[in-house]
Amino acid sequence: MKRFLVIFLMLALGFYLIQALHFVPFGANRMGAPADKKTVAAFYLNETVPQTAVANVVTAIVVNYRGFDTLGEVTVLFLATTGLASILYKRRDEEETERVSKPSSTILQTGAKVLFPLVVILGVYVFVHGHLTPGGGFQGGAIIATGFLLMLIAYQKYHLSHSMLTWVESLAGILFVSIGLWGLITGGTFLENSWFPKGTLNSLISGGAIPIIYIAVGFKVAAELTGVLDILLSTKDDKSASNIQQ
């Protein structure tokens, strides 16, 4: 009986998949004419700049039109990092904590000192200018985490304050949600971008609340990824510890 049920479900699933693909107009122009606002893509291309004053259409879509989805993505990243940290994190004295990696050379340590501030500045630049140029909060946060990864690899006794990372991550998340709730309080929708002055197109102060949200996302992603990297590089069992000492 179970086999017949599984076969029936597979046939039903295959039927609906074939039917759905059959009606997909492969090769057809789904963008629509420049003046045609019936398609979603045409609406974004025609209305994003006038409505949001954001030069980067992708940023406007991610943070404004589908900002609730972006909030969900940030939440998923938070849950993933929290789960990983809860599994791997071991409370111990920071003075006795060493990296799993072997001691690095003087060249790597010197290069890390020089490159670290430049990498952090680049990451901040990417998410601060996310509404003007390609980039944004996720990309900028990942770049900043890469800078901290360089320091963690170069220096075995380089320590990070997880309480500080938690504060940064929490405040960034609260800011994101607060902006969304303020849209509801002012009589609009969640994460609505109409209550904040939009400024002048192609200027740093433009886009309303969109750059503020991307800055919050950048700090949140940077804190979460940096915390995970620190935990991964600090977690070791007795076997790996003995191998490093040898």
Domain ranges of the chain: 55-245
Q: Give 150-189 pLDDT, tens digit per residue.
A: 998 888 788 888 889 889 988 998 998 888 888 778 777 7
Q: Which residues of 196-205 are buried (b: 16+ CB within 10 A; e: fewer)?
A: bebbeeeeee
Give the C-alpha distances (Å, rounded to integers) separating 130 from 162, 207, 212.
27, 10, 10
Q: Place 57 in a pLDDT band, splitting at 50, 70 and 90.
A: confident
Nearby residues of 109 by Cβ (< 8 Å), 6 or more positions away: 154, 155
Residue among 137, 151, 165, 150 at smallest CA distance from 221 = 137
The answer to whether 175 and 91 are in contact (CB under 8 A) is no
Give the C-alpha distances (Å, rounded to integers) separating 135 from 22, 127, 218.
37, 6, 10
Residue among 19, 225, 6 at smallest CA distance from 123 = 225
* Model confidence at 66: pLDDT above 90: no
Q: Place 125 in a pLDDT band, splitting at 50, 70 and 90.
A: very high
d(CA 35, CA 59): 22
SS3 129: coil
- Backbone φ and ψ for 114, nearest 5 degrees, come out as -75, -45
Q: Place 26 in a pLDDT band, splitting at 50, 70 and 90.
A: low
The stretch 89-113 carries a mean pLDDT of: 68
Position 36 scores a pLDDT of 55
What proportion of the chain, given as a percentage, has pLDDT over 90? 20
SS3 106: helix
